[in-house]
Amino acid sequence: MSQPTFSIIAPIYNEIGNLDELHRRISETMAKAGGAWEFVLVDDGSTDGSSQRIAEIAAGDDHVRPVIFARNFGHQIAVTAGLDYSRGDAIVIIDSDLQDPPEVILDLIAKWREGYEVVYAGRADRAGESWFKKASARFFYRLIDRLTSIKIPLDTGDFRLMDRKVVSVLNSMREHHRFLRGMSAWVGFKQTGVEYKRAARFAGETHYPFRKMLQLALTAITGFSFFPLQVASYLGFVSAGIAVIAIPVVITLRIMGNQAFFGQATTLLAVLFFGGVQLISLGILGEYIGRLYDEARGRPLYIVRDAPETPED
Ligand code: UDP
Ligand code: MG
């Protein structure tokens, strides 16, 4: 197929119950988009037969380009591969569980035609998700907003349209620990948003348990902020300051015969407190160093077992 106008990217991890419905609704929507399109399905090491189903769908529809990973590499990496393989002038990232209604793509395209280069879809409402998931997502977006200098629109996921110009820049950013929402805000360009109601999953269950959300939050924070590294020096200045004031006070009290600072409890508490602070600071350092190490090794971001062609073709 020659150069399509639109590329739709969907990362797939064990979504066997959603694939056909996703394909049907994307095809229906894109028929109204007014332009040639391709549908890049990235199989992120599924073990439920999704890979085979993707191959079958691709065999019956030449809009579909399957990229099959050798193992599970994670959502952000799957989307990255989709960006590498897509060839359109406008590229849309969408979840494969139909939580992002494919019909919203038409609104994204309308904004792109107005001249915007990044059109993100904001979640006005989230259906079918637990209280805990919503509250932690809310907290997560606000924390990142406070800690980092880039302005990531609140309550947006990866569901967005990006112009080829933006995707070319993103494709040149080969960091291993990726937070695409942050990266696509960081690059600048003309950005705008549309609102949509986030639906419940069509089938299956979330692959983002709390542990993975925490990992993503750490990636977002370490990827866009040095603040956690500086916390140790702030705490150091504060505790050194307290010590400088406390030393003459304690000496004076002792000389005057006051017994307020006798005993082990004060010593023990101070040792525990500062031991804790130091270990936490070391842990924070470790987070950054581990990430540095991953970058230094320079391994590929993902390994493809099967794809019709290389990204450059
Ligand atoms: N996903 C993926 N690899 C993973 C986990 C998830 O490609 O390791 C895909 C998944 O198939 C879905 C999208 O990422 O298309 C979002 O995942 P999910 O719906 O589980 O997350 P939630 O919407 O609950 O945050
Ligand atoms: Mg989902």
pLDDT of residue 157: 82
Q: Which ligand has the shortest distance to the CA of 13?
A: 1
pLDDT of residue 188: 87
User: In testing the pocket of ligand 1, which one of 39, 207, 215 has its CB within 8 Å of the most ligand atoms?
Assistant: 207
Q: Indicate the pTM of the whole model.
A: 0.84
Residue of 23, 4, 76, 14 whose CA lies nearest to 45: 14
- Asked whether 45 lines ligand 1 (CB < 6 A), one says no
Q: Which two tokens stand for residue 14?
A: 């064990």
Compute the distance from residue 226 Cα to the ligand 2 centre, in Å.
30
Q: Which two tokens stand for residue 263?
A: 């005993």
Count of CB atoms within 10 A of residue 45's CB?
20
- Burial degree of 200 (CB within 10 A; 0-12, 13-18, 19+): exposed
- Asked whether 43 lines ligand 1 (CB < 6 A), one says no
CB 146 within 8 A of CB 221: no
- Asked whether 206 lines ligand 1 (CB < 6 A), one says yes
Q: Which two tokens stand for residue 104?
A: 């919203």
Residue of 101, 94, 102 whose CA lies nearest to 26: 102
pLDDT of residue 151: 79
| The ligand 1 atom nearest the CA atom of 206 | 20
* String of DSSP letters for 86-112: ---SEEEE--TTSSS-TTHHHHHHHHH
Q: How far apart are CA 178 and CA 64, in angstroms?
A: 26
- What is the length of the chain? 313
Residue of 13, 155, 23, 30 whose CA lies nearest to 81: 13
CB 122 within 8 A of CB 195: yes
Q: What is the pLDDT along the chain (313 residues), one digit of tens a residue?
A: 568 989 999 999 999 999 999 999 999 999 998 889 999 999 999 999 999 999 999 999 999 999 999 999 999 999 999 999 999 999 999 999 988 899 999 999 999 999 999 999 887 777 667 788 778 778 888 888 888 877 777 777 889 999 999 999 999 999 999 999 889 888 989 998 888 888 888 888 888 878 888 888 888 888 888 888 888 889 889 988 988 888 888 888 888 887 776 677 778 888 888 888 889 889 999 999 999 999 999 899 999 888 777 665 5
Q: How far apart are CA 192 and CA 206, in angstroms?
A: 28
Q: How far apart are CA 295 and CA 299, in angstroms?
A: 8
